[in-house]
Amino acid sequence: MRRASGFSLAEVLLATLFLCIALFGYLALHQRLIYSNWKIEQRQAPREEARSALVQRLAQARRGEAAGLEPVQGVAHGLWRVRAFTTWTETVKGRSEPVEKSVHMDTFIGVRRPGW
């Protein structure tokens, strides 16, 4: 007696189940990547703003305008901290009210004074 060729109903259902699990996993991963990209884009503008403010303050410090610079404690004289700070609000997944976020950018510059 010959066996019938083909797949049984249980095999087809099991293969369909595995394919559905893989498809839904891929869709969940894709949705998470889209959300992460959106979060990065939301934070990019304030970081660029802080970076441009930091570059501007560095240029002022190099020209000798030390207003707003704070000396670094415990090191040689002439080392100053240049700081840029930006605050923004963003919506967070799962929260109804916006959350305030901030970015700090610090760098240090050695400012030489005339007569050194």
Residue 41: what pLDDT?
85
**What's the token pair of residue 109?**
């510059």
Residue 69: what pLDDT?
63
List CB contacts of 110: < 8 A, sequence separation 6 or more: 78, 79, 80
List CB contacts of 53: < 8 A, sequence separation 6 or more: 84, 86
Residue 78: what pLDDT?
60
Q: What is the DSSP letter of 50?
A: H
pLDDT mean by block of 10 residues, the chain; 116 residues: 82 96 97 90 80 76 62 59 71 76 70 54
What is the separation of C-alpha 76 from the centre of its chain, rounded to a whole number of angstroms?
34
Residue 23: what pLDDT?
97
Residue 49: what pLDDT?
80
Residue 65: what pLDDT?
61
Residue type, 6: G
Residue 17: what pLDDT?
97
